[in-house]
A and B are shown apart, each in its own frame.
Chain A
Amino acid sequence: DAMVIQNPRYQVTQFGKPVTLSCSQTLNHNVMYWYQQKSSQAPKLLFHYYDKDFNNEADTPDNFQSRRPNTSFCFLDIRSPGLGDAAMYLCATSREARAGYGETQYFGPGTRLLVL
C-alpha cells in the first residue's frame, strides 16, 4: 500500500545533541511537510518542500532544518534540541499543482521526540 513512513516512531535525545527524524513516501507526491504537535495542541507547520523548493514558516526556529535529497525522502534535523522541542513530529505529503487549489495531505504516524 502506498503510504507515508516515519522512522523511528520514538526518539530519545539529550539536551543539545543533534537529532534527525526521517520520512519517506511511496505516493510519489511532490510536496512534503513537517509539522510539530505538542500535547493537546494543533499540529503546527514548520516548513515544507514544494518539489525541491524549501518553504520555511516565518516562526520556525533556526534550530530546525530540513533536507530533501529526492522525491521520496525528507529529513528533519534539530541542531540543538531543547526541552521545549519535545513533541510529536508529523510528516505529510500531497500532490499539488501550482495553478490549482490545494490537495489533500496524507500523514505519517509521527515520531515522538523526548529530550532528556
Chain B
Amino acid sequence: AQSVSQHNHHVILSEAASLELGCNYSYGGTVNLFWYVQYPGQHLQLLLKYFSGDPLVKGIKGFEAEFIKSKFSFNLRKPSVQWSDTAEYFCAVKKGTASKLTFGTGTRLQVTL
C-alpha cells in the first residue's frame, strides 16, 4: 500500500530561521505531489504542487519544494519563516491518474518571536 511519511511531527523555530520539512512516499510510479497547510482554525489550503516539469516548485508565501525522484522525496523549504507560518503542514501524494490523495500525518510548525 502506498504510504506518505513526514518524519518531523512537531517543529519549533524562531522567526527568520530556515525551514525544511521532510516528506517521503513509497509509490514507485508516476506521482503528483502536494503540500497543504492548515492554519489554526482554518481549512486545508494548497501551498504548492508538483505534476511534471521542473522538480523545484514554488508556492505561495515564499515556500518551495523539491521533487527528488531517486529519493522518493518532496521536501518543503522556506529560507526565513515568519510567526504567521505557524500551522500544520501536510504532504500528500496522488499516483498516476487515480483520484485518491494519500496524506502524511502532518508536521506542526510553531514559530516563536
Contact = CB atoms under 8 A, between A and B. Distances in A.
Interface in B26-59: 30, 32, 34, 36, 42-46, 49, 51-52
Interface string A49-77: 01000010100000000000000000000
A109 B101 CA distance: 17
Contacts, number: 61
A50 B98 CA distance: 11
Given A90-B44, A107-B43, A109-B43, A100 B100 contact: no
A92 B42 CA distance: 14
A105 B99 CA distance: 9
Given A43-B90, A107-B44, A110-B43, A99 B99 contact: no
Interface residues of B, number: 26
Q: Is the interface of B mostly helix, strand, loop or mixed?
A: loop
A68 to B, nearest CB: 14
Contact of A102 (B43, B45, B98, B106): B98
A100 B97 CA distance: 6
B97 A99 contact: yes
Interface of B: 4, 30, 32, 34, 36, 42-46, 49, 51-52, 90, 94, 96-106
Interface of A: 4, 31, 33, 40-45, 48, 50, 55, 57, 90, 92, 94, 96, 98-102, 104-110
Given A90-B44, A102-B101, 10 more contacts: A4-B43, A33-B101, A50-B99, A96-B99, A102-B32, A104-B34, A104-B46, A104-B49, A107-B43, A109-B42
Query: Which are the 8 A-B pairs with shortest beta-carbon distances?
Result: A42-B103, A102-B94, A107-B44, A109-B43, A42-B105, A43-B103, A107-B43, A102-B32
